Chain A
Amino acid sequence: MSNQSSVEIQTEWDIVAARQLGRNVAKELGFGTVDQARITTAISELARNIYLYAGQGRIEIQRLTENGINGILIIAADNGPGIPDIRKVMEDGFSTSGGLGAGLPGVKRLMDDFKIETTLGEGTDIRATKWLR
């Protein structure tokens, strides 16, 4: 059972829209304020990556139910250049844009499950889930 909605990321303000959507869904699902902050921050990171590196893409928010536990799934998909070395971007402190380099590893820590699929020249698909406990 899933219920989804999505935001196209094209400008910096779309990041805010994606975040707002995620926060609303998280609130409706009953996540506490700390988890809401974690989820919105994760969405913010993923959406910003799309904006910075792929130019455009999509953030999709899905509600999940598995074994009676509710959860929220964030899908960040783009048709950008892809990531050449996943192991490297998952290291803390690695950044190609002069940022802090805490984005992707940070998202992995903020969420419960984290999956990343990328093909050079074709795009990147990131799925991150947070379960309601």
Chain B
Amino acid sequence: MNKQMARYIQENMTEIISNWQEMMKNEKGERSFEVMPAELMDQTSREFAELMTSNLLESHQAYESRLNDFAEKVVRYGWSITFVTKAINHFGEIVFAGMERDGVINSDNLRAFAEEFNKWITPIRDSTIDTYSKTWERTVSLQKIALQELSASLIPVFDKVSVMPLVGTIDTERARLIMENLLEGVVKHRAEVILLDITGVPVVDTMVAHHIIQAADAVRLVGAKCMLVGIRPEIAQTIVTLGINLNEFTTTSTLQRGVEQALAWTNRKIVEVDEV
């Protein structure tokens, strides 16, 4: 029965593909096909059709690798998962309707064929979704790593003075990283003054403040001073309203002022010199 279906599909490939393309174009809210050049569309459609039939003919392994290739391609084209599941369903529908019309499927073997179709379509759908979710998981975990890399680095700007710019939301995981990098950096760079720059932190709530205070305390324990810089006016107001006590901190509005202050603490300053 599988062979029968495969043969039918191969014999009527062109017709099936054009029907299928027509059906997919009529899908509302899907622009994937509209924006695709005709040549590429034909090629992808053919690939899709081959994939659908390979499930019927080839060994499981050959099919798996083909499916992976295809799913990766589809992800790159930006096809949505709803679009792909629709594509699979429509393909099945067209083949079924065509075989019924041509008399391959008749009232005697209808039930058997329906079952066979189910066995054919369901694994394709399942493994497509599976490949999709795996691709997503990989992307997410890669992005997580990328985010961690730019999370919190301590940058030595002068002898004894280092800056840690914080950008983005601070969650528990990042707070832990910040603390670790801070302490490690203080020791490594022999920093005496650390400037924590929160210009890029969108919201400072009690948890963020709590983490900052803890980090500053820890820095004090390893013998350095912590300064909080880059406090925007609206953040200053919310901190006061929340009743967060930052009295033990030296705070400045900009990094520039913070650097001046840090240099003053380490008995230095920047002077302009006459041209030599």
Interface residues of A (CB under 8 A from B): 12-13, 15-16, 19, 33-34, 36-38, 40-41, 44-45, 48, 92, 99-103, 105-106, 109-110
Which of these binds chain A: B26-34, B129-137, B199-207? Answer: B199-207
Kindly report which residue of chain B lies nearest to residue A103, judged by CB atoms.
B206
B172 touches A100 (CB 8 A): no
B19 smallest CB distance to A (angstroms): 41
Per the bound structure, the CA–CA distance linking A105 and B242 in Å amounts to 7
The 0/1 profile, CB within 8 Å of A marked 1, for residues 143-184 of chain B is 000000000000000000000000001011100000000000
**A108 closest partner in B (C-beta):** B241
In the bound assembly, the distance between CA atoms of A92 and B203 in angstroms comes to 20
Residues of B within 8 A of A100 (CB): 206, 209-210, 213, 244
Contact of B238 with A by CB under 8 A: yes
Q: Could you list some 29 contacts between A and B, CB below 8 A?
A: A12-B172, A12-B173, A13-B171, A16-B169, A19-B202, A19-B203, A33-B234, A34-B237, A34-B238, A37-B203, A38-B238, A40-B202, A41-B203, A44-B205, A45-B205, A48-B205, A48-B207, A99-B207, A100-B206, A100-B213, A100-B244, A101-B206, A102-B206, A102-B243, A103-B206, A105-B243, A106-B244, A109-B242, A110-B242
Q: How far is the CA of A100 from the CA of B242 in the complex (A)?
A: 10
Give the docked Cα–Cα distance between A110 and B205 (Å): 11
Chain A proximity of B34: nearest CB distance (Å): 30
Number of B positions contacting A (CB below 8 A): 22
The interface residues of chain B lying within 8 Å CB-to-CB of A37 are: 203, 234-235, 237-238
Q: How long is the Cα–Cα vector from A102 to B210 in the complex, in angstroms? A: 10
Q: Does B233 contact A (CB under 8 A)?
A: yes
A41 x B204 contact (CB < 8 A) = yes
Of the candidates A16, A34, A36, the one having the most CB atoms from chain B within 10 angstroms of its own CB is A34
Interface residues of B in 31-53 (CB under 8 A from A): none
Q: How far is it, in angstroms, between the C-alpha of A19 and the C-alpha of B202 when the chains are bound?
A: 10
Output the least CB separation between A109 and chain B (Å): 5
Please report whether the interface of chain A is mostly helix, strand, loop or mixed according to DSSP: helix
B→A interface (CB under 8 Å): 169, 171-173, 202-207, 209-210, 213, 233-235, 237-238, 241-244
Residue of A nearest to B239 (CB): A41
CA distance A44 to B204 in the complex (A): 9
Which residues of B have CB within 8 Å of A33? 234
Query: In the complex, what residue of chain B is closest to A37 when comparing beta carbons?
Result: B234
Which chain B residue shows the least CB distance to A110? B241
**Which residues on A sit within 8 Å (CB–CB) of B241?**
38, 106, 109-110
Residues in chain B near residue A106, CB distance under 8 A: 206, 241-244
Given contacts A99-B210, A101-B206, A106-B206, 20 further A-B contacts (CB under 8 A): A12-B171, A12-B172, A36-B234, A37-B203, A37-B234, A37-B238, A38-B237, A41-B242, A44-B203, A44-B205, A44-B207, A48-B205, A92-B243, A99-B207, A105-B243, A106-B241, A106-B242, A106-B244, A109-B241, A110-B238
Q: Is the CB of B243 within 8 A of A41?
A: no
Q: Which of B169, B234, B243 contacts A34 (CB 8 A)?
A: B234
CB distance from A78 to the nearest CB of B (A): 17
